[in-house]
Amino acid sequence: MILRSLTEHVKDQNWFAVGLDFSIVVIGVLLAMQISNWNAAKGDRERGADYSAQLTADLLAELATIDAITDYYATTFSAGNTAYEGLSARSDIPHETILINAYRASQNIFYERRRSTYDEIINSGALNLIADRELRETATHVFAIGLFDTVMAEGQSRYRELFRMIVEPDLQFQLGEQCGDRIVASAYVLGGANSLDYLCELNADPESITAAVMALRADEDLIRALRLRNVQLGGRLSELDGTKDALGLTSLFDGEAAR
């Protein structure tokens, strides 16, 4: 319609009408572009808000997971020190206590990290849509560091392998049932958090317990592997505590309990 009118006005050399028609076209195009930009900006704000909510939930889960990992390995570290004292005959510790702690020192956990939202944001180039700078920077730091993955991977230690090879399977099954992992409810860790932080008694044949302790004590490779595991884990626990604060996870949620 406008094009036909413009053509007729050009033929008639009605330059005022031509200018008016042209202005209408330009204004219409600019208005359409502005509406498109407004819609795009609105869509970006909504997308950014959705990403921010999902990313916040994921970081809360990461904080809860780090706390759960730290608590779990603090227990295995303590158990490892007790086991080492008993297996190296440095302390007069009952065989049952030695075996329980030697078993717990060999335990490890694995948690799936909650990074799918962050990966989607990065892959789609949408990091700038996260309006909260602290949230954006914290997520970048948390998902870039490999410490948490390293700590979990190191749970598959040489000590764990040696313990599994030395102690009789039936006794290991009893240790697992009576003194192994328990699930603790968590608001943020899917399925709950694993824990070894409880008292247990091993209802097993005393002769089998003594035989297992003697076999563990006689294996120099196991003693060395336990010593290495204890030193290694002690250092990792310090790193976990320091790194969590350095990454800004604690301050981001104002110390919110995420367990």
Residues 73/104, Cβ–Cβ less than 8 Å: no
135: left (phi over 0), alpha (psi -120 to 50) or beta: alpha
**Burial (CB count <10 Å: 0-12, 13-18, 19+), residue 189:** buried
pLDDT digits (tens, 9 = 90+) for 56-81: 888 888 888 888 888 899 999 999 99
User: For 180-216, what is each residue's pLDDT tens digit?
Assistant: 999 888 766 766 788 899 999 999 999 999 999 999 9
Least confident of 43-57, 161-175, 217-231: 43-57
For the chain, give every domain's residue range.
Answer: 50-252
pLDDT in tens, 121-168: 889 888 888 888 888 888 888 888 888 778 878 888 999 999 999 999
- Helix, strand or coil, per DSSP, at residue 258: coil
Residue 117 CB-density burial (10 A; 0-12 exposed, 13-18 middle, 19+ buried): buried
Q: DSSP 3-state helix, strand, coil percentages of the chain (rounded to 5)?
A: 75, 0, 25
From the centroid of its chain, how far is CA 251? 17
